[in-house]
Structure 1
Amino acid sequence: MRYIQKIGTPFEQQGKAITLAYLNRRWQHDHYVPFHYKRVDLRGMDALLVQEQQDATGPSYCCYCMRRLFLQRCAGHEANVTLEHIVPNHIDTNTQRADIVQYQRYPCLDNNHLTICHKGELPPEKTSTQITEVPYPHFVSYHNLVASCNGTMLESGSIVDSHCCNNRRGCDYVEPLFLDANGAQSIGYNPDGTLDFNDTTIDAKWFARLNLTADWLRLVRHLWYLVAQSVYTAEQVEEAISNIDLRQVIIDDIDSENLIAAWADETKTPIWTLFAEYNWFYSYYQK
């Protein structure tokens, strides 16, 4: 997991401008045209967030599972970006008050930056006053948005979407550890692919809600550990998407447990491609 800074950066200014532009489009004469979380078009926000989540080597990664993000199809990788509302876009302010208190401990989610709206809809009393500065409604605010993957995983031999991260979570409370530099660094990954964290300060159910403990993600992390300890590079894993012979060599050398022998087949290229998108773990396990 990596720290995402949401205050005091050029991205913040651009993100606020995107949110304000949307609000201005919804303002007609003396009121807001009704809008809620299901009908929001934050033009350019996805590209901004992906750029914000780039690491030093260039690629951008999911705020949760560290899968590489693609805004559009590229070199065999499918577009996979979704916008994650840290405070859920349709949060129930009546039944989730305790959750809101926890979210608002983070500066970018406090009352100075967000107006949390019941069920992701601008309340009637606010529709006749034009919003010109923060706090913005939480379901359109840059400060409440990060880039997540679309939750694609391998389950029972089939590739399925929406099984981890943003789309899996729903409205459940998840501590936004990536908003705190120390919190992000407190999550580690063992050689066997399991998560490493202090369970006296971090609740394991947060990861379960995101499905970050799934067998697929554990296997992916373990395989990247094996690659990182081998003579092969992340670039060669990427090359092996189209180079079947190289893929076979890599598998033969790292897969002593016979976990992925079938992936050498050309028909398994989508699985290998998905595995390759987790190349962030190569540098992690090399440390």
Structure 2
Amino acid sequence: MRYIDKNTCKAEGNGITDEYLENECRTTDPLSGSVRYMNIDYSGSFTNKGYRGRMLGLAMTTQKKYCCYCLRKIGNSKLATLEHIIPQNAPSTSGYDKYGELSKGEIALTKDFSSAHNQERPPYPHTIAWNNLVVSCKGQFPLDNNVSSHCCNNARSSLYAPPVYYLQDIESRIAIMHDGSIHAKVGECHDEINSTIVAAKLNCTALKEIRRLWYKLRDIPYREIVRCIYDRNQRMKTLVYAFKDGGDFHSIFKYQKDDYWKVFMKYHLFYLIFREAN
């Protein structure tokens, strides 16, 4: 995970929410003339009328198309999901509102916003709020089983996963081990970071394998690793080099396949992470 600065593009993100509320949810009482915002529906009008797509595109730009959880490079919006940090069906904001981006001054549960006497913004209704929406990948890998999602948004579902990527020093609070596993370092926010790692299944087998392979290739020039996309002979040499100590023929056979190597390359940030750690 890396720090996500929601102040970047905040005006544009809030503007999408404001536009949606004004265009799709605004009602006027015929007797009193008072304005109310009703029928806020993320899965319905927010999605169907194109607001979700615009919010997703803006968030992709802010995150440079990297998944908020696993740091996978998401090439296009078809492979991306908008993650509700505070789940859509959450009964409260407790545990999330300690983060400034999700504080009571910024975010309100949608049901509370809809019933509030004062609907001035902020706070914004959580199901359509810029600060409560980040981009996640679908957590899918080319594995030989029927698991639809191994990590990230779909795997997390509604489990408690505090937005530790809103901590500016989040990278220094996480340890990435040589076996590819990641762990929260002892110290402040340890439990919260661990909750997010567990909820998003960031130590699933596929992710550990990919991170381990990047660790093993950290000393190889990056251009040679890129060549492996098109040159299978180069790929085989690179894999044999990576596993020369352990003789891991299973991994060599797996990542020699095009589908596995293409997914592996989407995690190229770990090359930089391991290089910088040396």
TM-score, normalised to structure 1's length? 0.81
**Greater per-residue helix proportion:** 2
Pairing partner for 2:179 from 192, 196, 206: 192
Give CA deviations for 1:236-267 in whole Å, capped at 9, x if unaligned: 434423332222221122122324221365xx
Q: Deviations over 1:173-200 (max 9, x none)?
A: 1121110112343012112212132256
Which residue of 39, 43, 47 corresponds with 1:38? 43
State the Cα RMSD in Å: 2.4
Q: Which amino acid aligns with 1:6?
A: K
Distance 1:92 1:236, change over 3 A: farther
Q: Partners of 1:84 and 1:177 in 2: how far apart? A: 14
Structure 2 vs 1, CA of residues 180 and 205 (structure 1 numbering), >3 Å: closer, same or farther? closer
User: Is contact 2:215–2:271 with CA below 8 Å preserved after alignment?
Assistant: yes
**Equivalent in the alignment of 2:237:** 249
C-alpha distance in structure 1 between counterparts of 2:185 and 2:25, whole Å: 47
**Which runs of 5 or more structure 1 residues have no equivalent in the other structure?**
55-59, 73-78, 94-99
Which ranges of 4 or more aligned residues in structure 1 deviate by more than 4 Å? Answer: none
Is there any run of 5+ residues in structure 2 with no aligned partner, and where? 29-35
Q: d(CA) in 1 for partners of 2:79 and 2:72?
A: 9
- Pick from 106, 123, 126 the counterpart of residue 113 of structure 1: 106
Matched with 1:276 is 265
When residues 122 and 38 of structure 1 are mapped into structure 2, their CA distance, relative to the original with a 3 A threshold, is farther
For the residues of structure 1 that align with 2:182 and 2:133, how far apart are their CA atoms? 25
- The CA deviation at 1:89 is 1.8
SS in 2 for 1:213: coil
Distance 2:274 2:146 in 1: 26
Q: Which residue of 1 aligns with 2:274?
A: 285
Inter-partner Cα distance in structure 2 for 1:176 and 1:109: 9
Cα deviation 1:70-113 (Å, max 9, x = unaligned): 225xxxxxx421111111122123xxxxxx23211111101111
Once the two structures are superposed, the pairs formed by residues 18-167 of structure 1 within 5 Å of their partners are: 18-30=16-28, 31-32=36-37, 34-39=39-44, 40-41=46-47, 42=51, 43-54=53-64, 60-72=65-77, 79-93=78-92, 100-118=93-111, 123=114, 125-126=115-116, 133-155=121-143, 157-158=144-145, 160-167=147-154
Q: Which moved more, 1:268-277 or 1:250-259?
A: 250-259
Shift, 1:117, TM fit: 2.8
Counterpart residue number, 2:170? 183
C-alpha contact 1:81 1:148 (8 A) present in aligned 2: yes
Scaled by the length of structure 2, the TM-score of the pair is: 0.83
Residue identity (%): 27
Structure with the greater relative contact order (CA < 8 A, sep ≥ 6): 1 or 2?
A: 1
